[in-house]
Every structure is written in C-alpha cells, then in structure tokens.
Amino acid sequence: MAFNIITKNTVRERFPNAPRPDIWKDTEDKDWNNWIWQQQKRIKSMDQLEKVIHVADDEREAFAKSHESFNMGITPYYASLIDKDDPNCPVRLQSVPKGGELVILPSDMEDPLAEERDMPTPGITHRYPDRVLFYTTHNCPVYCRHCTRKRKVADPSSSAANKQLEDGLAYIEQHKEVRDVVISGGDPLSNSDERLEYILSRLRAIEHVEVLRLGTRNLVTLPQRITDNFAQMVKKYHPLFIHTHFNHPKECTREAFDACAKLADAGCVIHNQMVLLKGVNDDPKIVKELNHKLLMMRVRPYYIFQCDMSQGISHFRTPIEAGINIIENLRGWTSGMAVPHFVVDAPGGGGKIPLLPNYLVKHEGKKWILRNYKNQQFTYEEP
C-alpha cells in the first residue's frame, strides 16, 4: 500500500499572514521579517499611529493624558492586525490607549498582587514554596494596555541592572527549595540572545533547579524575534517551557504559527496564559476558537486569568461569572486539551485561586450526586 507522504504542512496554510498596511507596502521582506527592524519602527506617537489606522478622539485624548505614565509602543507587525476603522477591534483595545485607562477606582491598587512585598531581593518574587518569578527586564515590544505591571513596565529606571541580575541568581543558588524558575519581566525576550543565554546557563548550572520557564508575549507581538539562532540556543537548556499570552484568535497568524513551530521543534512545551478582557475575549465562542487555533499551533491553553485590580485597567474587568461561564462552555463540549484553568490571582498576594463551575450537586454519606456538562445527574457511590 502506498502512503501519501505529506510534503507540506497543510495546517500552516490555514493561518493567514498579517496583512501589510499601505505605509509598509514597499518595505522589503527582509526588513519586515527582521525583529530589530520591527523593534526600531515601533509606533510610539499619535502621528505615527494615524498613518496606520483611523484614530478616534477618545484614543487621541487618552494618549495625551497617559503616555507619560505608561508609554504606547506597537510593533508594525502587531499594528498590522488592527482593524483601521473599528474602534472595538480586539487588537486595538489591547494596544491603543483608551479613555477608560484614566479612571482610577478607589478599589484599584498599584501592586495588586503584592509582588513587591514578596520580594526577598529586588527582581525575585518568591511566593510559592518551590518556584520563583525572576524579573530580567522591564521592556516589551508592545505595551499592553491591560498590563498588570504598568507601574514597572516601560519605565527605564526600573530595568533590571546587572547587579540586580546577579543578586537574583545568588538568591536562587542559595535557596535549595527553588526547583522551578519563571523568567519574566517585562518581556525577557527584550534581552539580547547573549544576555538570555547567560541567564539560562547560570540557572541551568544550579543543581536544585529542575525546570525553567520563559514568560514571553513576543510570540504574539513580535514573532520575528524567534529566530533560528534563538531556537538553537534554547535547545541547550531543557527542560525549558515557554509561557505566552495570546488573547484573541486574530493574533493567530502565519507568523505566530511559525514562531511557535520553531520553539516546539526545538523541544519547548508552550503554554498559553490568556487574560480575560471585556470586549476582547469575554465570550466562550471566541475563547473556544482561540484555544482550537492554539492547539493547531502546538500551544496548550494553561490559564485564563481574571483581570487584576491594577490601576487604570478597570474598563477591561469582567464579572467573575464570565470566566466560570467560559469553562462551563468548554469542558465536555470540546477537547480537554482546550480547557485551561480559570484563576483569580488574589489581591494582596494570596496567589492563584482556581474557580470552576460546580459539578457537585449533593453529597450524602457515600453517595455523590454529580452533574455532567449537559446537566444530567449521576450518582457515584463509594465502597
């Protein structure tokens, strides 16, 4: 029997390239596909943005009042995913300032997760028994309007200097209970390959460190950053997990597909951490489509985060029920692989608390009355 040998990946072809807006129509591919070019051409002003999309008055005003405290920065690639006429475009909501940012509610907090309090040394948050967050930079290719670390990100004065990096490495070396290090930021891929390799190799040399993770949104906002060299480099430091942050199916492009493929081919397991955002993805249909696309990109949906109580992002916050409702509409209805954990990162530093629909109807002695995803009831009896 003859087999049809697949010579090209037909799944890849279902992912369209990002469209190229007029101002970059004549840009050479070698520039467009180069992450340094993408980084250098980032949109940082309203004048530049107006050449790409039709800016609304509310956005212009919000930019004027916000850019000193929280920069705007959008890579040409990510800007090309913005619908130029739709003020509610999900990519636009995540990257262009809006009036809602200027509203600070009395309940909003500067550091809702108390990351600073649980900092034994600057740059390390050690909250859980066996793992730490390690901040290595405060830059990101795109400044997400919903960022929970707005107080730090985009502020050059808070970037992790070499001394801080060494102190963080020393802390991890001295704390034998740390078996899992989440390299974070900002976006750690804003570091050069050399600096990242230095960090990875130092961590890998620590006997008690078992797994490394890189938390990066570059797969979404600057997929060109994942070069062949970078993928070759990370291979040396396995087990290395990648945690990324796709929020909407529109972000699942050919470019993103290829970036994920390079990392997956290099042996990385990729997880997605979506943030639940009003008007962007607070709809089970959108999340299901996103998660199906992510699985085709070899990315496993891992968390859905309830939006934090950070200052200036209350316009993104949804009721908690929205997250529970999303899980209710996924579990059972689609692959278990497409069902992430919905968590609330407890204000005040309580950590991630999972919430899920209640499938337990009643519990009497040895009898457990349970319901399934279709709301049918079943009894499980213990011996």
Ligand X SMILES: *Cc1c(COP(=O)(O)O)cnc(C)c1O
Which residues make up the interface to ligand SF4 (CB under 6 A)? Answer: 140, 143-144, 147, 149, 153, 185-187, 217
Which parts of 157-208 fold into alpha helices (H)?
162-174, 193-204
Q: Is 127 in the site for ligand X (CB under 6 A)?
A: yes
Q: Is 253 in the site for ligand X (CB under 6 A)?
A: no
Cα angle value 270/276/279 (rounded, 5°): 125
- Map tokens 């089970």 to a residue: 284
- What is the rounded CA–CA span in Å between residue 216 and residue 292? 20
Query: Nearest to residue 152, comparing CAs of 311, 314, 352, 345?
Result: 311
Q: Is 352 in the site for ligand X (CB under 6 A)?
A: yes
Q: Is 217 in the site for ligand X (CB under 6 A)?
A: no
The listed partner (ligand X, ligand SF4, none) that binds 187, CB under 5 to 8 Å by sort, is ligand SF4
Cα angle value 376/283/294 (rounded, 5°): 95
Residues 74-113, one symbol each (x = binds ligand X by CB under 6 A, - = not), give ----------------------------------------
- What is the rounded CA–CA span in Å between residue 381 and residue 362? 12
144 noted as active-site residue: yes
Which residue, 60 or 179, is less far from ligand X as judged by CB?
A: 179
Burial 245-267 (b: 16+ CB within 10 A, else e): bbbbbbbbbebbbbbbbbbbebe
Kindly determine how many residues on this chain lie close enough to bind ligand X according to the rule CB under 6 A: 7
Which residue, 15 or 128, is less far from ligand X as judged by CB?
A: 128
22 noted as active-site residue: no
Question: What DSSP designation does 326 have?
Answer: H
In the complex, minimum distance from the CB of residue 151 to ligand SF4, in angstroms, rounded to a whole number: 11
Which of 41, 149, 150, 293 is flagged as catalytic?
149
Q: Is 294 in the site for ligand X (CB under 6 A)?
A: no
Cβ atoms of residues 341 and 351 within 8 Å:
no
Residues that bind ligand X (CB under 6 A): 125, 127-128, 131, 133, 182, 352
Show which residues are catalytic: 127-128, 131, 140, 144, 147, 149, 308, 345, 352
